[in-house]
Amino acid sequence: MSADELALWVTSREGLGPAQKLRSLLAKSAWQMGAEPLSRCVLYVPERIAVPGGQACSSLASSFRAHFFDYRAHVVFGAAGIAVRFMAPVISHKKRDPCVVVIDSAARFVISLLSGHWGGGNSLARHLAGLLQATAVISTASDGHCEGFALDLAAQKQGLCLIDWQELPAMQGRLLEGQSLVLYDPFAMLPEAKGLVRASASSLPQTFPQITVHWQNVPRQAGRLRLIIPHLVCGVGFRQATEPELFVQAFAAFCKRYGFAQEAVMALATIDAKARDSGLCALASSLHVPVDHFAAELLAREQSPNPSTMAGKVFQQPAFSVCEAAAQLSARQRHQASVLFFPKTRFFGKITLAAAGSAAFLLNES
């Protein structure tokens, strides 16, 4: 998706004026969704009303579907039914779908239609309504409830990775109906909320339904909604020409050995000379995380528990551990205080992995 662009879709001549007005207003007052402000707009119009600066489409519906995942947000000027028909064939999942907002041709109502929470549709609708002096129409249950607490919004705000999406509707419904959920959240990531009954921080509760917030690999189970804390950096060292499939297998074995969820990894890290390796890049792509990389001399200055004389010889440095040093350096750049969680571990005689992360998430075993 484009990090700083919205797509505006005009279905009739009546909607062209409001769309152009909105594009001008957004240039001065960007919508803030996450770290990136969105202010630039790409205007799509039918060929019959082509205008300067607009993308003329022979079929708006086909163009909408082709570009659905190219933008963080779509704004359709026209009837809600038209927007529904545009997007129906390409809707995938709420954790991936961009948000869709509909504005009537007179710019009186701004309707959040798709991905209201996770995708930011409700936030965008409110922002656009403010710019156009229109009425925002929000229909998600937690937003209309006087004491509603949106689990997905709370998780997103804290940077948590929500898995077990199939459990979310029932969990949210229980809270809206005044029922309780057991919350296992030893690091106090979620705020206090009516209906969330905090379990002991020392052990996983046995009562269901429940919400767990951790970086460890809590088993999947019906009635359990898992939120993962992504704070770990996995350092990777490997021999040249290592088979790509071994990276995935080694990473899975590393997670299993130390009992952490793969979603807890927010980045991979390695040495500059190997940052473009196809196997490493394929692993990063499958995890949807970046690859940090560092110069050999910088890694060699990093104190780590398991230095390698071989690595030192290959890169003409004192003995050092590529995976431990890279993980530590990357984690230090990302967290106020970091620590090596899991030491260098060798797999298949070709790959070494280590993990560092935020000291705030160290387990208290006492």
116 and 172 share one domain: no
239 and 224 share one domain: no
Is residue 23 domain-resident? yes
Burial class (CB within 10 angstroms; exposed 0-12, middle 13-18, buried 19+) of 91: middle
Of residues 179, 75, 53, the one with CA closest to residue 127: 75
Of residues 255, 284, 273, the one with CA closest to residue 353: 255
Residue 143: the pLDDT is: 58
Residue 53: the pLDDT is: 85
36 and 102 share one domain: yes
CA separation for the pair 324, 355 (Å, rounded): 7
At which of 106, 139, 172 does a domain end? 139
Say if residues 349 and 242 touch (Cβ distance below 8 Å): no
175 and 74 share one domain: no
Q: Token digits for 106?
A: 């007179």
At which of 109, 139, 169 does a domain end? 139
Residue 147: the pLDDT is: 45
pTM of this structure: 0.73
317 and 351 share one domain: yes
Number of domains forming the structure of the chain: 3
Q: Token digits for 269?
A: 């890290």
DSSP 215: S
279 and 335 share one domain: yes
Is residue 318 domain-resident? yes
Residue 35: the pLDDT is: 60
Give the domain range for residue 214. 151-228
At which of 139, 166, 196 does a domain end? 139
Cα→Cα distances 160→104, 206, 226, Å: 35, 23, 10
Cα→Cα distances 185→68, 226, 279, Å: 36, 10, 35
The per-residue pLDDT string of the chain (366 residues; one tens digit each, 9 = 90 and over) reads 444 689 999 999 999 999 999 999 998 988 887 667 777 899 999 999 878 889 999 999 999 999 999 998 999 999 999 999 999 999 988 888 999 999 998 999 999 999 888 888 888 999 999 999 999 998 875 555 434 578 888 898 899 999 998 998 899 888 888 889 999 999 999 998 888 999 987 888 888 889 999 999 999 999 999 999 999 999 999 998 899 999 999 999 999 999 999 999 999 999 999 999 999 999 999 999 999 999 999 999 999 999 999 999 999 999 999 999 999 999 999 999 999 999 999 999 999 999 999 999 997 753
82 and 191 share one domain: no
Is residue 271 domain-resident? yes
Say if residues 243 and 265 touch (Cβ distance below 8 Å): no
Cα→Cα distances 25→128, 144, 215, Å: 9, 28, 41
Residue 1: the pLDDT is: 41
Of residues 155, 331, 327, the one with CA closest to residue 228: 155
236 and 214 share one domain: no
Is residue 21 domain-resident? yes
Is residue 11 domain-resident? yes
Alpha-helix residue ranges (DSSP H) falling in the chain = 13-28, 60-66, 80-87, 121-132, 141-144, 151-157, 168-176, 244-258, 278-287, 296-300, 309-314, 322-334
Is residue 102 domain-resident? yes
Of residues 226, 208, 171, the one with CA closest to residue 193: 171
122 and 46 share one domain: yes
Is residue 104 domain-resident? yes
| CATH code at position 301 | 3.30.420.180
46 and 166 share one domain: no
319 and 300 share one domain: yes
Of residues 340, 265, 357, 271, the one with CA closest to residue 303: 340
| CATH code at position 70 | 3.40.50.11220
Is residue 84 domain-resident? yes
Say if residues 61 and 85 touch (Cβ distance below 8 Å): yes
40 and 161 share one domain: no
